[in-house]
Amino acid sequence: MKTTARRPAWAFLLVVTVALVVFGTVRDTGPRTQQDRIDTITKRVACPTCDGESVYVSRAAAAQAIRAEVARQVSDGLNSDDEIVAYIADRFGGQVLLVPRGSGLDALVWVLPVVVAVALVGALAMSFRRGSTSASNAAVSTANRRKPVAVTLAVVIVVGVGGGVLVARQSGQRLPLQTATGGIEDSTASLLAQARLAGPSDVKSAIDLYARVLETDPDNVEALTYRAWLIMLSARQFDEALRQQAYASTIAALGRAIELEPAYPDAMCFLGIVVYRDGGDAAAAKEFLDRCLERDPPAEVRGMVESLAAEVAAEVGG
Amino acid sequence: MKTARVAALATGIVFAALVVVFVVSDGDTDVGARSPLLGQPAPAVATSTIDGARFELTRRKGSWVVLNFFNSTCVPCIAEHPSLVRFVADERSRTDAAEFYTVVNDDVDGAVRDFFAANGGDWPKLRDDDGAIAVGFGVAKVPETWIIDPNGFVRLRIMGAVGDGVLEAQMARLREGTAP
């Protein structure tokens, strides 16, 4: 009777405790200044060249560079605190994280204390229960006594591990690309890298990837240039009408790329190659190829241009 | 008695597992250092040389690019310099020559110019005044040398001074596609 009367009080206490924990975890602490954010972030990152110092306190050159990067990203306002910390961990490795991650082996730091705490509470509850019921249960069989132990054990495991995982997810450092709001779409740099890789063997995929970049960044010079170049290369195997169509769009796209970034060598080089190979205009091609070489193209493009330049020069000279 | 047997058996298993790990492990003998960036697109680098020319790493796609983080007062940087000079001279004889750049780390233009005037090396020297490039690559101490492939992916990181012939050997492995 006495135990039954106490149950609502225990339940009330449990509800209040859980509510306070939830409130403390998710409450909005209000707007922070940029300096607050910089301080908070740099306190979460270890100086990579010192022992046991955070970037916040360290005066080492590497720590100062990280602090400057944090300040720059905070000032840009594009990334959350977690994303900025993840950016640094992505470069220097997980060992610079002063707050352990909420996944992988690091998550044990968060999960184990919760499991142990729940196990202790479970054990305590069981011993209370045994103490209060030992007299009345003197005649209960061993099999019947094992049943509550198994149930308690299962509850402890489920609640402990579940609670631990929740704590790890909430408190642990998020990994790069793990955000509070879900996944991050492929960045422009990643799409360009994928397109570059696909380029030689899977031209269609590469063209699609460059097109995706241009959907979000219509003035991306690399995507404009290489999409146009790959379209022209593909069109060479089709009929004259399609080649002419591709030629016109390629010239327009390369012209746009050069307009956006006159110093970009690749666009100028491809323009020279296309004007000669597909337009048959050696004089114009020579001018573009000369300008291309003045712009110091990368080795791959330079190789293509140099092998063509002599042929074009001979034709113009002749 | 039974407990003692179990404990002895468990100890034996753990010991045997450790022996297996030590035997199977090939150690960390490779010159390449670990980095989360290996195999990933290189971080964006947009800066200028100490001579004022504009530099953007993404615009060098199509070439192998070697970035060497450097400080004129760092002893290992001074020690590796002759090897770098020889490497660049060898590379320049190739049609697919790697482009070599020094990234100046926590140093002043005058000191860098004096160093290169005295020790050779006519390749471009990139400014990193606020350390953004070093942080982008996760460089905490110089010297460090990074190799980026023509598709713009990070392929190798070497921490510390580069010995004679090391860069040549690593570039050959990378070009053949045998490097990890």
pLDDT digits (tens, 9 = 90+) for A179-201: 333 333 468 888 998 999 898 78
The answer, yes or no, to whether residue B74 has pLDDT greater than 70, is: yes
In whole angstroms, what is the distance from residue B97 CA to residue B113 CA?
A: 24
Cβ contact, residue pair A193, B132, below 8 Å: no
> What count of other Cβ atoms lies within 10 Å of the Cβ of residue B72?
21
User: Closest partner residue to A90 among B36, B105, B140, by Cβ?
Assistant: B36
Angle at A225 between CA A224 and CA A231, to 5 degrees: 90
pLDDT at A181: 37
Using the Cβ of A256 and the Cβ atoms of chain B, whether some distance falls under 8 Å is answered with no
pLDDT at A25: 65
Cβ contact, residue pair B106, A263, below 8 Å: no
User: Closest partner residue to B152 among A89, A196, A297, by Cβ?
Assistant: A196
| Band (B26; pLDDT cuts 50, 70, 90) | low
Cα-flanking dihedrals φ and ψ of residue A277, to 5°? -70, -40
Q: Which residue spans within B19-129 are E strands per DSSP? A: 46-48, 54-56, 65-70, 99-104, 125-126
In whole angstroms, what is the distance from residue B62 CA to residue A222 CA?
A: 12
Q: Which residues of chain A have pLDDT under 70?
A: 1-5, 25-31, 101-103, 131-148, 167-186, 318
The neighbouring-strand residues paired with B154 are B148
Q: Residue A132, Cα to own-chain centre: how many angstroms? A: 55
Residues of chain B contacting residue A49, judged by C-beta atoms under 8 Å apart: 140-141
pLDDT at A318: 58
A147 close to A49: Cβ distance less than 8 angstroms: no
Cβ contact, residue pair B60, A61, below 8 Å: no
CA distance B119 to chain A (A): 25
Using the Cβ of B138 and the Cβ atoms of chain A, whether some distance falls under 8 Å is answered with yes
A76 close to B121: Cβ distance less than 8 angstroms: no
In chain A, residues 29-48 whose CB comes closer than 8 Å to chain B = 48
Q: Select from B61, B70, B105 the residue whose CB has the most chain A CBs within 10 Å, as the one to mutate to test that interface.
A: B61
Cβ within 8 Å of residue A268, ≥6 positions away: A258, A288, A291, A292, A295
pLDDT at A249: 96
Residue of higher predicted confidence among A91 and B116:
B116
The answer, yes or no, to whether residue B45 has pLDDT greater than 90, is: yes
> What count of other Cβ atoms lies within 10 Å of the Cβ of residue A271?
28
List alpha helices for chain A, DSSP H: 2-26, 34-43, 61-76, 81-92, 108-133, 142-171, 188-198, 203-216, 221-235, 240-260, 265-277, 282-294, 299-317
pLDDT at A187: 81
pLDDT at A199: 81
Cβ contact, residue pair A62, B54, below 8 Å: no
pLDDT at A4: 64
In chain B, residues 16-75 whose CB comes closer than 8 Å to chain A = 34-37, 41, 43-44, 54, 58-64
In whole angstroms, what is the distance from residue A289 CA to residue A307 CA?
A: 11
User: Closest partner residue to B97 among A89, A92, A299, by Cβ?
Assistant: A299
B107 close to B74: Cβ distance less than 8 angstroms: no
Strand, helix or coil for residue B48: strand
pLDDT at A5: 67
Strand, helix or coil for residue A51: coil
Residue of higher predicted confidence among B63 and A32:
B63
CA distance A197 to chain B (A): 6
User: Closest partner residue to B41 among A64, A92, A193, by Cβ?
Assistant: A193
With a pLDDT cut of 70, the percent of chain B lying above it is 92
The mean pLDDT value for B83-103 works out to 96
User: Closest partner residue to B62 among A69, A190, A298, by Cβ?
Assistant: A298
pLDDT at B15: 83
The answer, yes or no, to whether residue B91 has pLDDT greater than 50, is: yes
User: Closest partner residue to A91 among B62, B95, B138, by Cβ?
Assistant: B138
- For residue B115, count CB atoms less than 10 angstroms from its CB and return exposed for 0-12, middle for 13-18, buried for 19 or more: buried
B124 close to B159: Cβ distance less than 8 angstroms: no
Using the Cβ of B99 and the Cβ atoms of chain A, whether some distance falls under 8 Å is answered with yes
Residue of higher predicted confidence among B71 and B180:
B71
Integer angstrom CA distances of residue B69 from A254, A297, B64, B106, B145: 35, 23, 16, 10, 6
